[in-house]
Amino acid sequence: MGDDDVGLVERLRDGDEGAFRVLVERYQGQLLRLAASLVTSRAVAEEVVQETWLGVVRGIEGFEGRASVRTWLFRILVNRARSAGAREYRSIPLDLGHEPAVPPGRFSPKGTWASPPVTWTDDADERLTAKALAGRIGHLLHRLPDAQRQVFLLRDVEGLPATEVGDLLGVSDGNQRVLLHRARSSMRGMLEREMGRV
């Protein structure tokens, strides 16, 4: 937990409304993105985030600092999303299916790349600005299966470590790695198609 977050937690415990405003400004977007990946509609996601903030206010005295404030907030949110009801919560399937992470056509009969992935990140700025690319990733996220989207969002967008993601979503470390690999491969494939690189 960063020094700034430690100070905010202490101020919030002392009843400082300004500290609460700072926390909301800092984490609202992240919480809403995660909630949207866990429930079926934007309205339910907003309700889950609101319930999360109520949980923070009610439970601030119980926060022990064993995890970062962000991880604590995410844990509250995941619990609120799960309790929002089975019909609203998109469960994470443990059956990873049989779809390949990379389409088989990308490999030769010997198992090597038929055509190696092209490094396109160097000239991506020429074709799309970084902001536009991030916008495309955000737009394409909904095309990923639920479990892959949730892991991708927490690992690659929010930057949480693998152990925290597995713990938050209730998946094993191995399943989390597979889901992340498939999500990254799918996202790369979608971006390559959009950029005409396949």
Among 102, 191, 104, 99, smallest CA distance to 145 is for 99
Do residues 126 and 151 touch, judged by C-beta distance below 8 A?
Answer: no
Residue 31 lies in a domain: yes
Q: How high is the pLDDT of residue 117?
A: 66
Q: pLDDT higher for 166 or 100?
A: 166
Q: Per-residue confidence at 91, pLDDT binned at 50, 70, 90?
A: very low
CATH number of the domain enclosing 189: 1.10.10.10
User: In terms of domains, do 108 and 79 share one?
Assistant: no
Residue 96 lies in a domain: no
Three-class SS string for the chain?
CCHHHHHHHHHHHCCCHHHHHHHHHHHHHHHHHHHHHHECCHHHHHHHHHHHHHHHHHHHHHCCCCCCHHHHHHHHHHHHHHHCCCCCECCCCCCCCCCCCCCHHHECCCCCECCCCCCCCCCHHHHCCHHHHHHHHHHHHHHCCHHHHHHHHHHHHCCCCHHHHHHHHCCCHHHHHHHHHHHHHHHHHHHHHHCCCC
User: In terms of domains, do 20 and 76 share one?
Assistant: yes
Q: How high is the pLDDT of residue 76?
A: 92
Residue 79 lies in a domain: yes
User: In terms of domains, do 124 and 76 share one?
Assistant: no
- How many separate domains does the chain show? 2
User: Kindly report the CA angle at 23 between 22 and 29, in degrees rounded to 5?
Assistant: 105
User: In terms of domains, do 125 and 189 share one?
Assistant: yes
User: In terms of domains, do 186 and 115 share one?
Assistant: yes
Among 143, 188, 134, smallest CA distance to 37 is for 143
Residue 22 lies in a domain: yes
Domain holding 139, by residue range, is 104-194
Residue 88 lies in a domain: no
pLDDT in tens, 130-160: 667 677 777 888 889 988 999 998 998 888 8
Q: Give the mean model confidence (pLDDT) for residues 157-173.
A: 89
143 C-beta neighbours (distance < 10 Å), count: 11
pLDDT in tens, 46-90: 999 999 999 998 888 888 888 888 888 999 998 888 877 544 434
Three-class SS string for 27-73?
HHHHHHHHHHHHECCHHHHHHHHHHHHHHHHHHHHHCCCCCCHHHHH
